Amino acid sequence: VKVGGRQSYRFFTPSMNERAAARRRIEAELRQAMARNQLSLFYQPKVDATDGRIVGAEVLLRWYGPDGTERYPPEQFIAVAEDVGLIVPVGAWVLREACRQGDVWHQQEMGVPIAVNVSPLQFQHASFLAELEAVLADCSLDPALLELELTERTVMAGGDATIALLQRIKRCGVRLSLDDFGTGYCSLSYLKHFPVDALKIDRAFVRDVETDANTAAITQAIIAMARSLGKTVVAEGVENEAQAEYLRAAGCEQLQGFLYGAPMDANAFGKLLTEQHLL
C-alpha cells in the first residue's frame, strides 16, 4: 500500500477505515438478523446431464430485510461472518434448516440430496462433527440425502487431521463434494486420498469451456480423471446450451446453473420437485 509514498498512504487510509466500519456494521446487523430469524435458504437445482431431471439441490444462504429486499449479497456478509467467527453459528443454523427442509421433501417421497456449503472455519471447529451428528439425530432425513460442499482450500488447510475427519463424516453416511474444483491448491494426486463422492468444476472453467482451447483441455482432463477415480462430476455456472452440450459430451454427469434454474426459495423448489414427482 505504501509503495507510492505518503501520497498513496493518505489516499488509502480513509477507504480502509470505511471498509472496517462497514464490516462492523454488517457484523452487528448480522447478529440481529440471526436473532430475528431473517436469514433464509434458497435452493438451486442440479440436473442430470442426459435427461435434465433434478438430481439434487445446492443450498444458498440469503439475507432479506423486513421490506423484502436483499439486505446484503451473500459474498459480502458471508465474508464478514467468516472474518469475525459468526460463520460457526450461522453455518450450524444453515445445516439444521437445510436438513429440516430436506426431511420435509424426503417425507413426501420426493427427496433429492441437499448440498450445504461448509466454510473452512466451520469445518475446522472442534464442534463440527458433533453438530452434524446432532442435526442428523434430530431429524429423520436419510443421511445419504445430505451432501457437504467443501472447497479445496478447506480440505487442504486442515493438514493431517483432515482425512481422518473426512472419513468420520463419511461414516455418518453423508455425501461429500469438492467445490470450486480447479481453482485451489488441490493437486490431482491428493484427490485419491480424499473420501469425496463428487467434484464440482468451478464456474470459471465452465464460462470459457466452448470458447477457449486451454480451458477445454483442462476441463476434459478433470472430468476424465474424476471419472476414473469413480467420482461424480458436477459443472456449476452453466448458463447456455453450448456449455451444457460440451460438458455432456465430455462426460460430465450433473449440471447446475441459470440455464436450469436460479436459486429459489423452498416453496418454488418444492413445486419443481412435485411436478417432477408427478411425471
Residue 44's DSSP bridge partners are: 58
Pairing, β 232-235 against β 146-151: unpaired
Q: What is the footprint of ligand C2E within residues 14-43 (CB under 6 A)? A: none
94 in contact with ligand C2E (CB under 6 A): yes
Taking the complex as a whole, the smallest distance from the CB of residue 133 to ligand C2E amounts, in Å, to: 19
H-type alpha helices, 85-179: 87-107, 120-124, 128-138, 152-157, 161-171
Q: What is the footprint of ligand C2E within residues 237-266 (CB under 6 A)? A: 237-239, 257-258, 263
**Residue 202 DSSP code:** -
Taking the complex as a whole, the smallest distance from the CB of residue 110 to ligand C2E amounts, in Å, to: 22
180 in contact with Ca ion (CB under 5 A): yes
H-type alpha helices, the chain: 6-35, 74-84, 87-107, 120-124, 128-138, 152-157, 161-171, 203-208, 213-228, 241-249, 266-278
Taking the complex as a whole, the smallest distance from the CB of residue 33 to Ca ion amounts, in Å, to: 22
- Judged by CB under 5 A, the stretch of 35-43, 121-129, 206-214, 235-243 that binds Ca ion is 235-243
Phi and psi torsions of 173, nearest 5°: 95, 0
Residue from 149, 154, 232, 257 in contact with Ca ion (CB under 5 A): 149
179 in contact with ligand C2E (CB under 6 A): yes
Q: What is the binding site for ligand C2E (CB under 6 A)?
A: 44, 59-61, 74-75, 78, 91, 94, 117-119, 179-180, 203, 236-239, 257-258, 263
